[in-house]
Every structure is written in C-alpha cells, then in structure tokens.
Structure 1
Amino acid sequence: MPASPSTARVINDRLALSLLQQEGPLTAGRLKELTGLSRPSVADLVERLTAAGLIEVVGESGEQRRGPNAKVYGIVADRAHLAALDVRTEGVSVTVSDLLGRVLAEASAPIDTGVGTGPAVEQAVALVERAVKEAGVDMPHTVGIGAPGLIDPGTGELRNSSGLPEWHRRLVAALQERLPEARVSVENETNLAALAEQRDGAARDRDTFVLLWLGVGVGAAVMLDGIIRRGASGGTGEIGFLPVPGTTGLPSATDCGGGFHSLACAAAITDLAATHGVTATPEPGEPRAAALVRTATAEPSLPPHTAFLDTLADRLALGAAAVTSVLDPGCVVLAGEIGRAGGQPLATLVQSRLAALSPLPTEVRASELGGEAVLRGALLTARERAQEELFGYHSSGRPDA
C-alpha cells in the first residue's frame, strides 16, 4: 500500500535531514540528486524544514554560469545542545557540543570520594554545570553518560554493584534534578567505546566485531550486524569474570578475581612488567600500565620488553579466544588506555596467538580512539537521541506522537 501524502512528507523530511547530517550543507539541487525526489518535492521539504527551524541557509554555492548562486542549506546547529560525560571511579570528564557535534566546552576533574557520596555527587554535578555555562548554554537538550557497570535493560538505569562507588548511581538522578528539562541517559562505557570505534575509529568498515576494553578493569562490547548486544540482564561483555587458565583461583558472582580480570587488568599488567624488569615514566595523565606497554612496544627488541609483550599477548589471546569461539565476530579491537598504548604491534602479537588457539579467522586491530572513545560514544548517542526527537516532525512542524 502506498504511503499517504502526510506519511510520505515525513519520510522525505527525515531522509533530507539524515543527508544533511551525514554530508553536511547541501543545495536544493544536490538534495534532489541524493533523494531522487522531484524539484517541487524538494522545494516543499526545504520550506517545511526551514519553517520548523530545523534547517537554515548557511551560504551559497560556487560561481554559476547563469543566474544567482544556489542557496546552501544546513542543519540549525544551535537548535539543541548536548552534554556527554565519561564517569570513572576516580573522576569525570565532560564535553558540551551543538547539534552537529562541534565541541563548545570541555572539562575534567578528579572526584574526592573520601568526602562521602553526597559531596562526590555535588562535585560531579558542579563540573557539568560549569562546562554548560562556559559553553554559553542555558540547558542541554540531551545528556549522555558513559559509566562502568551493568545497565538494566528494562529501566535503562545503572544497576547496583558492590564494585562501583555509590555516587555513580546517584549522579544520574542528581543531574536530572538539576537539569530538569534535559533528557538524561546512561550507557555502559565499553558499549559507548564500541559505538565510537565503529563510527569514527578502528571498526569503521565493520558492523560485526568485539571490542576488548583494557584499562583499570577489563570488559567487552559485542556489536552484531550493527547493533550493540546487551543480553537479558545487560551483562553481555562482563569478560572480567571469564574463568581462564593461569590464575590462582576462580571468579565468584561478586568478585572477578581469579577470572580474566586477574590477567589483563591494569594492576596485573603492572605486576607483569615488574616481573620482567620493564620500567617506564608515565606522561602527564597517563596510567602507569599504559606507560609500561607503550615503552615496551616502542623498543620491542629489548629482551625484557620482548618477554613482557609475549606474555601479555598470550594472556589477552585467552580472553579473545573465548569470545571469538562463541561469536565468530571476525574482528577484535583492543581498546582502552592499554589497548591504545600497545597499538598495532600488540594487536599483531595477539592476533598471532589467537590464530593458534582458534580455527576461526579473526583480525585483531588497535583502537584509534583510546581513552577518548567513551566520551565520544556518549556524545554520539546524545546527538542521535536529540536528533531523533527533534527531527521527528510532521509537515505541520509538530513532533510525532
């Protein structure tokens, strides 16, 4: 059954907005070419979207042989503003941007958890409010938060966990209270990193892959057919609890010690480096484990570095083999501060070990975004949610019900 005229207009408007988001500013003529619509249909949708305040004239095309230059239309960037948070155990980073993702303000600060949950939440909220003010924004339309831990698939809330500080869970409610008009949502940090790597990083050409996050803790994100898979309880990717050989025991339901975490977390990597006599001087803000891996990969021919990297690759391949044997993703991205520090040299070592453990061909790649991936992923999701709401307009200019 053909779409009704009103439905067709909505579909055409959304198609045009999507093209303007992906391609940047376009002329009506170029919109006609990309959409396949008639010239009158394009003229009508340009008029509707302009009247709705979603697009505006942002310039003119180059010199024309005849007649005036064509107007160039773009999305109204300040129609909505976004805030993204990367929440870690020890601190928070914030980015504020316009609807096109252009950064207007950034801030980060450690959180003093020794003062108690309430004051810790207040420190984090104050940081967000300061960044919003510096960006010249009254109220962000959407706030995207990336945090460690499990997200309840039914409620979308961060689940209680004995391994995470209470202020993480309180932060979401506090931000919603202080920014009452904003749409606040939270997502697992590793899932956000995978979204960012798939959009802007090492997995740009993949819609199926697994991301291994290597930082203070370890985790995994699973993207299958372009969709992040969260599992029945939101726990897909809790690879730190994976029982593996080489540990002193087994993990439990409340403690990942004895699991893959015991081999691949930052503390374990630091201990491994000490065993092999590897030393490093961290750069400002660089985690010690990342500095050790970076130093070893910079001079891999030194005997201590070779032994350290070989053992580390063996360890990482154990976790990767378990995931790939079940999911067969064809690609694994080593992410987080440590994955970024190891770069492609470490990824190549892991790939060679993985090939010996699994019959399934799997490419191992290094993250291109490193520790920035979570914040970028949070910004991407905030932007998409805002655009879904703002761009869901009928021809009358009213949002979809």
Structure 2
Amino acid sequence: MTTARTATPSTARAINDRLALDLLLAHGPLTATELRTLTGLSRPTVSDLLERLQHGGLVGIVGERGEQRRGPNARVYGLRADRAHLAGIDVRTVGVTLTVADLTGRSLATAALPVDPLAPPPADMVGQVLRTLLETARGVGVTDLHTVAVGAPGLVDPASGRLRATAELPHWHGDLVDELRAALSAEVILENEVNLAGIAEHRLGAATDRDTFVLLWLGHGAGAAVMLDGRLRRGASGGAGEIGFLPVPGTAALPSAYSCDGGFHSLAASAAVCALARDHGLPVPGDGADDAPAAEAAVLAALAAGQAGEPFLDELAGRVAVAVAAVCVILDPGCVVLGGEIGRAGGPALAGRVERRLAGLTPLRTEVRAGTAGGGAVLGGAVLIASDAVRRDLFGGA
C-alpha cells in the first residue's frame, strides 16, 4: 500500500505496535509466532515491537506454551490489564450503578446507590456517588482512574460536553459530572444513556452484524440511539433519538419544548405501559410509582398469561410500531432493536409483533429484534467508550 511505502520509520512502528496491541486485546495472550502469523510482519519486526511494548509497560510475559518441536517452550505475551483502570457510571432517576474495570474492560467491582423516585434525593447525592466510586476502586486496589464514562438521560451538548438541564430530570444529574471533573484527575466523558446502550448492542448484543440500525429504548422513558454506517449519530444539539417527543396519534395533547408528555412517551414509557396493563386486567406490582421495573414485570406477566396476555401485547406492539414507522421512513435503517426494561422483557414475542405491524405501515422492509445486551447495557456501553478512550491514549491512533 502507498501509505506503508511512504510511512516514516516512527510512524510504521506506531502502526505495528497498535496492530499488535489490538490483536492481543481481541485474541488474548499470543506467542510471537502467532503474532507474526496474524500481522504478517517479519520475525525481527515482531521481536522489536514486543520489546518496545514490554518496556512501555503495556505487554508482559504471562506464561509459556508447549510447541510440537524441539527446544524451549514459546513465551506467551499478554496485555498488562493493570496498566490503566477505568470506570463506567449509569445514572438514572432511580439511582446510580457503577463499575470499575481494567484496561481490557473486565469488570473488577460494582456498586449501586438506589434512590426513591417518589422522594426528594439525598442532599449529598453527588458526594455519595463520588465517595462510592472512590471506595469501590480502592476496594480492588485501584488508586488512579484513567477515564470515567457517565451515561445519563437527557441531552448532552456536543460543544460543552454538559448535560442540558430539564425540569423532568433531578438537578444532581448535571451536578454529578461537574463534580467528577473537578474532583478527579481522570478524563470524564458524558454520553446519553440510550446512546451507550446502542453502542453495547452494536458491539456486544443484538446488532453486532449491523453497521446501520436504530435502538428503540423503552423504559422509564422512551428514546432511541441512531447508528448509521457504524457511527453513532448525535445530531447538531445532541438530540438525535429524542423520540419521546415524537407527536403520534392516540395521545391527548402535543408535546412541548419543556415536556414530552403528549408525545410517544405518553404511549410507550413505563407509566403508560403500566396503565395499559391495568386496562387489560394484568397485575402491575409496586406502590404506584409505575417505574421501569413495574412495567417490565407487567410485560412478563402478559407473556406468562398466554392467550390472556395477547391483547395487551398486541396493543403495545401497535403503539411501538407507530414510532418505529416514523423512524424507518426517515432513516430506513433496515433494523430496529427493542431495548430498555420493556423491550427486554417483551423479547422476541414483542419484537415479532412490532415487525408484523410495521410491515403494514411502511413499504420499507425492516427487521425488528429484541435487544440482547441485557439489563447492564448502559453500563456496558459506558465501559466500552471508556476503554476506547484509554486505548487511544495508551495505544495511539484514532
């Protein structure tokens, strides 16, 4: 390739080092022979890069492997997973969950701080989160975090990197990121929670074979993550995917600039799903908070009820299909993944119903899948983008 012929020696070394590090991350520990096979590089080049990476503290000898040949066993080289540490934080109206991970993204410890959504949050909520993060890290011997990624509901301003305050979100959500940035030497990245879930579905979940898809998040609220040509699209103001504001038939009013009540949120968010379940005579647990866990339980109850639960599932699928159709006729993603507590609970049964309803609403053929990244999709996405940031810094490259 032209780039390889014209690259300076230092550039070529950097490219080769990054290639080897990415392979060690993807495949786990490898011998020098295996690295030569995977990279196509010469024996001296692989030997030199391994020496450089060991000297830089990124790679170490982690064992030996017996070979079907005479002579000593081959040394096995692996990433120094303790070279840097990171954290992911999932911020919700019902509380905070966080995890501390190593360079490879492997979780070392997790913690949770629940919050009663019907009661005022603790006055020192931000301080509690910060202390919990530091205590969790220290509990596994981590005294320095390289990067912290935070997922939160709401608009993230792409220019300032701050959370845009709205009347519907607790004030401590925005304060948390500011406090983390002031208190930690780590890089702190803020991303919309649904975008993080979309990243997790793309790289670990239901859309690993798709570079273009939309994740429709159905939980306490409704949102979407838009992945086009392998890139997450955030929009000019960070608002791409704010589908809860989408005006749809069947609501009593239109949404406003200050509230998504009256938009798709009013048809498919947790409170609406709980109300729909009651209308169909299905049990809804909880104390009337009608939060995402209650809606999840209602959907699971409908599935367990067999034929008795089908009218509820059909009506819910019809509501979801209206919003999905709007997305499809604008973006034509070819694939929509249903995530969040409600989408996850509905699984393939709900996804199949939505796909069949969608086929009658738009001529654009669209596959609807159930999300598989699980309940920790937001936290998983946070760890992924934090890991990406750490590797960009340590490995070099984009």
On whether the aligned pair clears a TM of 0.5, the verdict is yes
| CA–CA separation in structure 1 for the residues paired with 2:133 and 2:273 | 33
2:46 equivalent among 29, 42, 49: 42
Structure 1, unmatched stretches of 5+, are 394-399
SS of alignment partner, residue 333 of structure 1: strand
1:298 aligns to 2:304 (yes or no): yes
Partners of 1:115 and 1:365 lie apart in 2 by: 37
Matched, 1:319 2:320: no
Q: How does 1:63-212 map to 2 (within 5 A)?
A: 63-111=67-115, 118-179=123-184, 181-212=185-216
Give the RMSD, CA atoms, in angstroms: 1.7
Correspondence for 1:62 among 52, 63, 66: 66
Deviations 1:243-283 (A, max 9, x none): 1001111111111111100000000000000111011557x
Q: Is the 8 A contact 1:297 1:346 kept in 2?
A: no
| 1:314-362 deviation per Cα after TM superposition (whole angstroms, max 9, x unaligned) | 0000010000111011110000111110010000000000111011111
**Residue identity matched to 2:110:** E
Task: Work out the CA distance in 2 between the residues paired with 1:280 and 1:110.
Answer: 21
Identity %: 59
Tell me the equivalent position of 1:397.
Answer: none
SS in 1 for 2:113: strand
Letter in 1 for 2:35: L
Deviations 1:173-198 (A, max 9, x none): 2112222x211111000000000011
Matched, 1:368 2:394: no
Q: What is residue 396 of structure 1 aligned with on the other side? A: none
Whether the 8 Å contact between 1:222 and 1:228 is mirrored in structure 2 is yes
For structure 2, list consecutive stretches of 5 or more residues without a partner in the other structure. Answer: none
In the alignment, structure 1 residue 348 sits paired with structure 2 residue 376: no
Question: Quick one: structure 1 residues 281 and 168, their matched pair in 2 at CA, closer, same or farther if it must change by over 3 Å?
Answer: closer
Alignment correspondent of 2:226: 222
TM-score (norm 2): 0.94
The alignment partner of 1:268 has SS state of helix
Helix, strand or coil: the match of 1:287?
helix
Residues 236-247 of structure 1 aligned to structure 2 (within 5 Å): 236-247=240-251
Alpha-carbon deviation of 1:384? 0.8
Q: Is the 8 A contact 1:86 1:378 kept in 2?
A: yes
- SS at the partner of 1:127? helix
Q: 1:294 to 1:116 in 2, by over 3 A?
A: closer
1:277 to 276, 281, 288: 281
Aligned residue number for residue 16 of structure 1:
20
- Structure 1 stretch displaced more, 115-124 or 131-140: 115-124
Distance in 2, matches of 1:249 and 1:15, equals 55
Q: Under a length normalisation based on structure 1, what TM-score does the superposition of the two structures give?
A: 0.94
Aligned residues: 389
Deviations 1:187-226 (A, max 9, x none): 0000000000111111111111000000000000000011
